A and B are shown apart, each in its own frame.
Chain A
Amino acid sequence: MKNNHKHKNLPKPSEFFIKKILPDEGWDSPVGDFEEDFNEIVSESGILRAWYWYFKQILKLLPQKVFISFVWSIVMLKNYLKSTFRNIKRQKLFSVINISGLAIGIGCTILIYLFINDELSYDKFHKKSDKIYRLTTNLHNPDGSVKSRYGRAPLPHGPAVNEFFPDVISCVRTWPLGFIVKRENVSEDVQVYFADADFFKMFTFPLLKGEASSVLSRPNSAVLSETYAKKFFGDKDPVGEIITILADQTGSSNDFLVTGVFEDPPSNSTVSPKIVTCFENLKLFGWEQFFTIWGFLPSGSTFIEVRDKNSEKRILKDFHLFTERYCAAPFSELRKSIFRKNKSDKDPLSFGMQKLTDIHLDPEASGSPDLTTLLVLNGIAVIILFIACINFITLSIGNVSKRFMEISVRKVFGAGRKQLIRQFRSEAFLTTALTVIPALIIVFFALPVFNRLTIKSLRFDSLLSFSNLSVLALLILIVGTIAGSYPAYVMARLKPAAAFKGKFKLGGKNIFTQSLVVTQFVLSLILFTSAIFLGKQINFMINKDHGFDTENILFIDMRTSSIEESEKLFNFLKDRLENQAGIISVSGSSHLLPRSHSKDRIVYEGVTFPDVAVTVVYPNYLNTMGIRVAEGRDFSPQLTTDKKNIIVNETLVKKLEIREPLGKQIKIGDESFTIIGVTENFNLKGYKYHVCPAVFQLKQRSEVFSMYRLKQMVLKISPLNISKTMELIRSTWKEIQPDKPFLYCFLDENINRLFLEEKRWSNIVVYSSGLAILIACMGVFGLTSITVSRRTREIGIRKVHGASIKNILFLLSGEPAKWVLIASVTAMPAGYFIVYKWLQNFAYKISISINIYIAASLIMMILVLSTTCIQIIKAAKAKPVDSLRYE
């Protein structure tokens, strides 16, 4: 070198890179040449120039390198493929166990992936989904802390927000309410969505007929979903036709002009309207008073559309200004009614907003699984997949002896450790990729069952999208890595010389393999016991004494008529039905037990108690429902003074600490009532929740709130000839009210519906634990057959020396028995913890008994031993001559 410029080595990473690119040997001198050039460029035109040159050189080299390695990997892959297929064919049993186990595992994972994908896809189909927010409301305690959160907002709130914030483009209030909708002779009990005019502009529900901007512009217009348009109009064009909505509350009916038809909302939509009409129409049904009240939360949500991503931040920043301007007056009103006696200057309400796409997985949204549920489901899928992977690992390792020659020959011919590892890895990948086909077949056939279990409508073809297929590819990669890495490592470590000499020992006393098998059992046992407890808890809740009769109680919907009419109808029907054969007693109520509850307030000795369920009933109600009276008496139909009396339940007595409750006064609203009876406890909402304090009161002369109007007739019917009795009731109804629909339900159906969610859960866990155990047992089966085949000679010698089949059985089944024993001891605390955590969700729970763990372990033991014994007996029965002859 001419100048004093110091020689520079290329940096280490690039040296590594060049080594990778160049052939294996003799890279030293070319690198030296390369470096010399590099240094010359550095001294001539600076380091930057040199680097530029350096990277250009490498880039030029790359395509060739990639091409060459690609060609070679294909050549080798062909070979690996061949040896994989040969092995699958040669060892049918292991291949079947491996492939079917992995296929079940992958199938489960795909199903659960579809489920979770669906849950996460909620509301994303709306074109403006990232700009739509729901307005939320927090109710505060007098000390300013948040008492409860609601995904709803007072009716004046939405328009005010729309007016105040420039970032809010539009506001749509919605309020779904149940009505009877009629057209000619078709009538349906359906939820009608009252919504502001921009509804179809904000949400993406494509209109088949009509324009998004104008369908809701006229006050009496109604838009039907495709299904309901078919229901009411058949194939006729519904636009321009009239439908009638019968008001539940007042009994009045209003006609609406159909202005459009929209595509049925997809199943993954939180807002899923069937009939949409203008929000203002609520006034027709007597809800006008609520339009200006800040202290009333409707059961529908208010949605706003914002300008862009940063709007939320800007809006939340200015929210206090909004509250100051709009809410000062209403809040001072509300303080009186919400905080009551507590003097507090804190705001009774505060407002917020929530993304449309976040609503579905919000735990406060009812009826949908929350994130924890999804995580648990995910966990179950991972466990099943993991158990299948363990099978693959243990069986491959146990099976090394059969592949011995192949590995040795490869080694002798110059295969390096890395190459062997690569071979066994790619074998695992290939096997996993192969399992995808049976896995997809499993998914295809299991999907209808899965849909029924989870109440979803997942579709198989949705799996074939690019993103889902790439997830599937990723799954194969992960499973292949987990299943293939350790066996590959073990096999590559083998010494060929030892292999040829036949000095080989592996598998039997391998701690790693054993602990994997034990892990398998632990996982399946945990799933298994959890499934048992789930089922027990649900049965417990369904079968526990509800405090009222659940069998043969019939409800008939009386909301088809107005308040006055329904009274008349009730009395008329009652007279007609009461003394008929098959009908034991008749009554009526304002709320459907046990589902409904109301958050009413009562005052006892000057103290207010909120959250009491007040139910307006007709005489004979307790008797009809089978609610037992503990003290005092039931309402009497003869005594008119009973209108001033009430009956309470034991929980209320306990909560209010009333001593000798009979004759005590309780205030509901402004009126005082006397307690004449105390009922035993009955559960209103199912045993997931604590018993709610309840009050029964007789029908007053005029009901201010339609909430306490007569909503259903309750009949206790005899269990004999139910269909005949039903026919009688139906014909009587038709005779009196030929134009009103006869809507009814049985109480036990209602109770079963309460536990639907839990049942769904237990179903999933039961099925998955069954699968887990099945896969684990298949693994044990495979492992035993390996052990047995390895010990054929030993068995032969033992037999020659006089061992009986029983002796051999004990000898060989000892090991799997030990595994199950260790697993059950480990699984117990872990399973206990999980079940304990889950049971915390329930107010009334079963005790966790150790017996179930023991029983589950025993079942596991029996299953495992029977799978192993089948093979051991087969081997033990063989003539020792045959097994010893090959020597």
Chain B
Amino acid sequence: MALLTRSEELILLAIWKLRENAYCVSIRKMLTRITGEKWSLGSIYMPVERMVKNGLLTSYMSESTPERGGRHKRIYKLTGEGEKALNRIYSIQNEMWSGVAGLSLENES
């Protein structure tokens, strides 16, 4: 299976952190807050839909809430595949990052 892209990785992490509240708007807000960059709704929808198709995510409809004007939310949840993929990317990253501690120090100074 192909490695996750950076945006997929970030979205998956956000979904995992948001738990029951992981729908597109909240995902986008979280990513915007942490990265400081602008994320459009489309840039969430597309990878999310792709990952649903690949079995990394599932979704269900939440109850409608009055603050959304009675509209349903589509809540996303990680599947086992999704968790596995995250773990895999985490271990790859760890391995890649080990031994380059000096790099970040130099950059900071």
Contacts and interface: CB of A to CB of B under 8 A. Distances in A.
Interface stretch (B14-22, B66-74, B82-90, B98-106): B66-74
Contacts of B3: none
B24 interface: yes
Contacts of B24: 30, 33
A34 B69 contact: no
Given A1-B67, A29-B61, A36 B72 contact: no
Given A7-B67, A29-B71, A29-B74, A36 B25 contact: yes
Given A33-B24, A34-B41, A7 B68 contact: yes
A63 to B, nearest CB: 14
Contacts of A28: 71-72
Interface residues of B, number: 14
Contact of A29 (B66, B67, B69, B72): B72
A31 B71 contact: yes
A29 B23 contact: yes
A158 to B, nearest CB: 73
Interface in A18-64: 26, 28-37
The secondary-structure label for the interface of chain A is helix
Contacts of A37: 25, 41
A451 interface: no
B73 A32 contact: yes
A33 B25 contact: yes
Contacts of A9: 69
Interface in B41-71: 41, 45, 61, 66-69, 71
Contacts of A26: 74
Nearest to B44: A33
Which of A1, A29, A31 gathers most chain B CB within 10 Å? Answer: A29
A33 B67 contact: no
A33 B41 contact: yes
Interface string A560-592: 000000000000000000000000000000000
B12 to A, nearest CB: 19
B71 A32 contact: yes
A31 B66 CA distance: 14
Contacts of B23: 29, 33
Contacts of B66: 7
Contacts of A35: 68-69, 71
Contacts of B67: 1, 7
A417 B70 CA distance: 30
A7 B41 contact: no
Nearest to A8: B69
A29 B41 CA distance: 13
Nearest to A1: B67
A811 to B, nearest CB: 64
B25 to A, nearest CB: 5
B47 to A, nearest CB: 15
Contacts of A33: 23-25, 41, 73
A32 B41 contact: no
Nearest to B24: A33
Interface in A248-288: none
B14 to A, nearest CB: 15
Contacts of A7: 66-69
A831 B61 CA distance: 68
Contacts of B72: 28-29, 32
Contacts of B45: 30
A31 B24 CA distance: 11
A739 to B, nearest CB: 95
A29 B74 CA distance: 6
Contacts of A30: 24, 45, 74
Nearest to B62: A29
A34 B73 CA distance: 11
A36 B74 CA distance: 13
Which of B41, B68, B74 gathers most chain A CB within 10 Å? Answer: B68
Interface in B7-46: 23-25, 41, 45
Contacts of B68: 7, 32, 35-36
A32 B61 contact: no
Which of A26, A31, A33, A34 gathers most chain B CB within 10 Å? Answer: A33
B33 to A, nearest CB: 13
A96 to B, nearest CB: 53
A8 B74 CA distance: 20
A30 B68 CA distance: 11
A34 B45 CA distance: 12
B70 to A, nearest CB: 8
Nearest to A57: B41
B60 to A, nearest CB: 11
Contacts of B61: 29
A329 B66 CA distance: 89
Nearest to A26: B74
A36 B29 CA distance: 11
A33 B59 CA distance: 15
Which of A8, A28, A32, A34 gathers most chain B CB within 10 Å? Answer: A32
B29 to A, nearest CB: 9
A35 B64 CA distance: 14
B105 to A, nearest CB: 39
A1 B66 CA distance: 12
A26 B69 CA distance: 16
A8 B41 CA distance: 19
Interface in A738-762: none
Nearest to A9: B69
B91 to A, nearest CB: 33
A34 B68 CA distance: 10
Which of B41, B66, B69 gathers most chain A CB within 10 Å? Answer: B69
Contacts of A34: 41
Interface string A73-103: 0000000000000000000000000000000
Which of B24, B45, B61, B66 gathers most chain A CB within 10 Å? Answer: B24
A9 B69 CA distance: 6
A32 B67 CA distance: 10
A806 B45 CA distance: 76
A590 B67 CA distance: 100
A597 B28 CA distance: 94
Which of B23, B41, B71, B74 gathers most chain A CB within 10 Å? Answer: B71
A37 B23 CA distance: 13
A36 B72 CA distance: 12
Nearest to B74: A29
Contacts of A32: 68-69, 71-73
Nearest to A61: B42
B39 to A, nearest CB: 11
Nearest to A6: B67
A41 to B, nearest CB: 12
A7 B72 CA distance: 14
B72 to A, nearest CB: 5
A33 B71 CA distance: 9
A775 B56 CA distance: 67
A37 B32 CA distance: 13
A68 to B, nearest CB: 16
A16 to B, nearest CB: 15
Contacts of B73: 29, 32-33
B49 to A, nearest CB: 11
B15 to A, nearest CB: 15
Contacts of A1: 67
A34 B40 CA distance: 11
A30 B24 CA distance: 9
11 contacts: A1-B67, A8-B69, A29-B71, A30-B45, A31-B71, A32-B68, A32-B72, A35-B68, A35-B69, A35-B71, A37-B41
Interface of B: 23-25, 41, 45, 61, 66-69, 71-74
Given A29-B72, A33-B73, A35-B69, 11 more contacts: A1-B67, A7-B66, A7-B67, A7-B68, A26-B74, A30-B24, A30-B45, A32-B71, A36-B25, A36-B68, A37-B41
Rank and list the top 10 A-B pairs by shortest CB-CB distance, nearest first.
A32-B71, A29-B74, A9-B69, A36-B25, A33-B24, A32-B68, A33-B25, A28-B72, A29-B72, A7-B69
Interface of A: 1, 7-9, 26, 28-37
